[in-house]
């Protein structure tokens, strides 16, 4: 793990070992001075509009994205792999298609995906050390991105097997927060969050198995959507992390996150979960109506005694006041979480064990991963099946907040604490790491057990300038309501006007 003191992250070097040719590059080992940083890229919808209007080209946007990634790699270290030559070739082809009059939602727009997602020709390290063969084909989400016309410029850093709310590891160093590089951007989709917050790409895909989209979105001042289980395919996996993990977008605006969600949503023929389609972009333009919103401060039982940091509470209270001023009924409430952790732990550790067992060199895994592997092995079989069988009862008990109490949306802090410093979790045992991250992030993971949607929205900043967030949570298949409410908040609070000082 990285040192607690800020250090230079590892840059991407053209001379690094290439996996499938010169278009694939991995961070090197030799620090170099940071290059001048180009201007941040426009958002996803704005990039698509400029391309359709012929006021820019895909080649220009992709070249700017690659230059900005290269310039910030020594400080932010957001990317594990770049597809520089391949992305520029795809951009040139997109320009030819645009000039011929073809129009697709994301034709020619550069995006990034997290390194737990298969991209043909690139290895999927998922935060791990060691060599991995390149993926033979795209994941279903990437296939849909390409079908929408997007240009994937590279793969962003993730902590090892997505376990922790920080993005650090011996395999790639530390990914840093654009708002303050002494702090983590969160995890496990920290590379995607850092890349979007810093304007390296207009938007990016992450994945969320216990808050891994919403937590880094909160800590980097972004919109992050955890959709309904099955909304975005996780194929080639059929039921990732025992049903806990879903893919989701990170963007600076609700409209951009909704546009990316629409582009990648849909099932693979082998998927288990197939919720009916939603129209996220339409929802982002819709008035949500007057809603009953439950504000919950008490997290589910984690045995840490965790509650929100005073600065988090102040920011979320201000956001709740905004919702009330916009005409919504906001009332404090306490969801009946019960002992939901007894269902989460077996599913999470069995999921880690399933992924860790595929690693060709297990000795390279973090000792905490090996500990989770042993726990997951013990909790497999009947224990995890029983944990999953409880989900129906959990739906009824927690869903009573919506079905019986009549609330439309649950509002909670996304995290209990602002983003920790880089190295905060170094040298901790597996147990102490679990306790520390449960204290910092006790709010997000129950919605992964339920499989229901949630949206992180920026809630403001601490007095020292660190971002914090709030999550809008809903019952099954309620993405459109959550997105409409998030868009209404964004119109009022205009969080997209604030950028980090990169």
Which contacts (CB < 8 Å, 24+ apart) does range 274-281 have? Answer: 274/230, 275/228, 275/229, 275/230, 275/231, 275/477, 276/477, 278/231, 278/477, 278/479, 278/480, 279/480, 280/225, 280/479, 280/480, 280/483, 281/255
> What separation in angstroms does the CA of 498 have from each of 199, 439, 467, 501?
12, 28, 11, 9
Diameter over CA atoms, the chain: 61
Dig out the tokens for 437 from the structure: 């991250």
Which DSSP category does 136 fall into?
S
Q: Which of 2, 188, 189, 478 is catalytic?
A: 188
Q: Is 2 a catalytic residue?
A: no
Q: State phi, psi for 113 to the nearest 5 degrees.
A: -130, 155
Closest C-alpha among 150, 97, 158, 143 to residue 271: 143
Cα–Cα distance measured from residue 382 to residue 273, given in angstroms and rounded to the nearest whole number? 22
Distance CA 419, CA 421 (A): 7
Q: Is 114 a catalytic residue?
A: yes
Q: Which of 189, 192, 212, 240 is catalytic?
A: 212
Query: What residues are paired with 18 via a beta bridge?
Result: none
Q: CA 66, CA 81: separation in Å to the nearest integer?
A: 11
**250, 224 Cβ separation under 8 angstroms:** yes
User: Residue length, the chain?
Assistant: 502
Respond yes or no: is residue 405 known to be catalytic: no
DSSP assignment of 253-292: SHHHHHHHHHHH-B--TT-S--PPP--HHHHTTS---S-E
203-208 and 110-114 strand pairing: parallel
Which is catalytic among the residues 47, 58, 114, 233?
114
Handedness of CA 125, 168, 316, 465 (dihedral sign): negative
Which run of H or of E encompasses 339?
none
Torsion-angle region of residue 230: left (phi > 0), alpha (psi -120 to 50) or beta? left
Cα gap 140→118, rounded to integer Å: 9
At 155, phi and psi to the nearest 5? -120, 135
Strand, coil or helix: what is 295?
Answer: strand
Catalytic residues: 114, 188, 212
């Amino acid at each position: 793990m990285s040192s607690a003191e800020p250090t230079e992250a590892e840059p991407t070097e053209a001379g690094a070992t290439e996996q499938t040719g010169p278009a694939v590059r991995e961070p090197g080992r030799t620090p170099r001075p940071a290059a001048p940083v180009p201007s941040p890229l426009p958002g996803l919808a704005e990039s698509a509009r400029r391309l359709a209007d012929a006021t820019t080209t895909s080649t220009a946007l992709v070249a700017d994205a690659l230059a900005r990634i290269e310039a910030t790699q020594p400080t932010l270290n957001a990317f594990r792999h770049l597809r520089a030559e391949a992305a520029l070739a795809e951009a040139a082809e997109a320009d030819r298609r645009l000039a011929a009059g073809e129009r697709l939602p994301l034709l020619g727009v550069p995006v990034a995906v997290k390194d737990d997602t298969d991209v043909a020709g690139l290895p999927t390290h998922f935060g791990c050390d060691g060599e991995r063969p390149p993926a033979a084909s795209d994941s279903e989400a990437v296939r849909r991105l390409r079908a929408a016309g997007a240009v994937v410029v590279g793969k962003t850093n993730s902590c090892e097997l997505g376990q922790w709310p920080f993005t650090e590891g011996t395999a790639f160093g530390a990914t840093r927060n654009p708002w303050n590089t002494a702090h983590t951007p969160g995890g496990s989709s920290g590379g995607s969050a850092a890349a979007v917050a810093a304007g390296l790409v207009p938007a990016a895909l992450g994945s969320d198995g216990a808050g891994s989209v919403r937590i880094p979105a909160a800590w980097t001042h972004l919109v992050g959507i955890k959709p309904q289980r099955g909304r975005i395919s996780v194929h080639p996996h059929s039921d990732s992390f025992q049903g806990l993990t879903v893919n989701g977008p990170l963007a600076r605006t609700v409209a951009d996150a909704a546009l990316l969600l629409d582009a990648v949503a849909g099932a693979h023929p082998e998927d288990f979960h197939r919720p009916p389609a939603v129209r996220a972009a339409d929802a982002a333009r819709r008035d949500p109506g007057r809603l009953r919103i439950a504000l919950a401060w008490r997290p589910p039982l984690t045995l840490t005694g965790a509650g929100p940091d005073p600065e988090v509470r102040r920011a979320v209270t201000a956001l709740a006041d905004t919702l009330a001023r916009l005409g919504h009924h906001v009332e404090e409430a306490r969801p009946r979480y019960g002992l939901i952790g007894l269902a989460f732990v077996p599913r999470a550790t069995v999921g880690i064990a399933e992924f860790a067992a595929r690693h060709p060199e297990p000795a390279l895994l973090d000792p905490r991963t090996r500990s989770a592997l042993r726990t997951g092995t013990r909790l497999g079989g009947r224990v995890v099946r029983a944990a999953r069988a409880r989900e129906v009862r959990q739906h009824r008990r927690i869903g009573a907040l919506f079905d019986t109490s009549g609330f439309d949306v649950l509002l909670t802090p996304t995290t209990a604490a602002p983003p920790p410093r880089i190295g905060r979790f170094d040298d901790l045992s597996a147990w102490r790491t679990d306790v520390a991250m449960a204290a910092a992030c006790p709010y997000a993971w129950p919605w992964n057990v339920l499989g229901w949607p949630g949206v992180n929205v920026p809630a403001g900043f601490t007095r020292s300038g660190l971002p914090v967030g709030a999550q809008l949570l809903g019952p099954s298949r309620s993405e459109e309501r959550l997105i409409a409410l998030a868009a209404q908040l964004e119109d009022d609070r205009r969080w997209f006007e604030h950028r980090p000082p990169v």
